[in-house]
Amino acid sequence: MTNITCESIDGMPVAVLGGGHAGRALAGYLALYGFEVNLFNRTLSNITKIAKQRSIQVIGMIEGLAHLRVATNDISKAINGAGIIIISVPAQAHKYFARQMAPHLHSGQIVLLMPGRTGGAMEFAQTLDVYSCDADIILGEAQTFSFVSRIVDDTTVQISQIKKSVRVSALPASDNQVLMEILEFLPLRFELAEDVLETGIDNIGAMLHPTPTILCAGLLESRHGGYNHYHEGISPSVSRLIEKIDSERVKVASAYSVEPMTLLQWLQYSYGARGKTLYECIRSIDAYNNIGSPSSLMHRYVLEDVPTGLVPIAHLGRLAGVRTPVIDSVINLACHLYDIDFWTTGRTLTDMGISGLTVEGVIEYVRTGDRAEEIGGMEELWDVHSMEVNEE
């Protein structure tokens, strides 16, 4: 357990890494609440006006001109001296960020992946190990992002919904109490999860995003989007398919001693959704009224949620002996549609630092940080539960 305390980070800036819809909303929100905020984006040209005026206009559920401490594409400038570092980027970039941050992290910092998707904290920790980062930090993972937000223009972001609560956990879970004490500094509502298996396998984006997008491929390419992803893309038939995918996710969660929240339960909990079916719940959520669709297939709804959501869930299922035929079908369809082997480019057990562990060993690792129990012959698992795209 680390020696980080609330007092040790009091008065330090908060670093928000990622200048997209989520990062801008979070940076602006925190700044309006009086925090000194460093905003980082890999491409400076995407935040040029924000960097020049060091402010973001926030509209929607909270409004005001949020003044930033700095907006930069210099990772060291963004995180040096920060007490809390929140990473709000597409999850496939987590490995890149861990690699770039490794030389600059210092003991006593909090790093929160928001969200981590599935296996984010495990992949991040494994990457820090590979790059010999010995800083004594607390690494946490959020199950989802706290807002529904959208960029309005170069300097304006809209927050249309603030979720009632977001579950978080540290890796290892033995740091959970300290993590929660630190996060209570922030004007956001967090709820403690058992461990990062809970936050990771409860990946709601992987349920709601890729399947409707893939099934609307013809509409996307012919019309360049222009419809509501949730209210139009998720029809009654698509809803039933997503419910089957969610059922497989729940079985995988149960295999790792996670008490899973079904997709319907999550929508009811997070948005106050009403209805007995997924279709009914989706249509009852006002926050989804103005959510458009991707304008092309090159969108994070597939390019993020398949490799960092469906793929690691399927790999975890394989390790536990839980078959996921519907999830596998969606992944395979995405592989063929995009001509990308998501099975190998997505998060594998090796990426997450748990290759060779038993289910019990994985649970022990996420709770204590120890990788003690290993099994050999992972190739045998691949032979028995082969899920790659068959090109023959």
Burial class (CB in 10 A: 0-12, 13-18, 19+), 391: exposed
Decide: pTM greater than 0.95: no
Supply the DSSP symbol for 44: G
Mark whether 242 and 369 lie in a shared domain: yes
Q: What is the pLDDT of residue 360?
A: 97
Instruction: Tell me: do 139 and 232 sit in the same domain.
Output: no
What's residue 15's pLDDT?
98
Identified catalytic residue from 305, 315, 328, 351: 305
Same domain, 292 and 237: yes
106 in active site: no
Catalytic pick from 21, 94, 209, 299?
209
CA distance 178 to 170: 9
Mean pLDDT by 10-residue block, N- to C-terminus, for the chain (392 residues)?
A: 63 95 97 97 96 97 97 97 96 97 97 97 98 97 93 96 91 97 94 96 95 96 93 96 98 95 90 94 90 92 97 98 98 98 97 97 97 52 39 32
Q: Given 171, 196, 221, which residue is the final one in a domain?
A: 196
- Split into its structural domains, the chain has a count of 2
Q: Is 209 a catalytic residue?
A: yes
DSSP-assigned states of every residue in 257-310: T--PPPHHHHHHHHH----SSHHHHHHT-GGGTT----SSS-SHHHHTTIIIII
CA-CA distances (angstroms) from residue 119 to 3, 48, 116, 262, 283?
25, 32, 7, 19, 30
Whether the CA torsion 240, 241, 245, 247 is positive or negative: it is positive
Task: Check whether residue 212 and residue 192 sit in a common domain.
Answer: no
Domain of 95 in residue numbering reads as 6-196
Q: Are residues 191 and 212 in the same domain?
A: no
240 and 178 in a common domain: no
User: DSSP string covering 244-266, please?
Assistant: HHHHHHHHHHHHTT--PPPHHHH
Question: Under a CB-based contact definition with an 8 Å cutoff, are residues 88 and 17 in contact?
Answer: yes
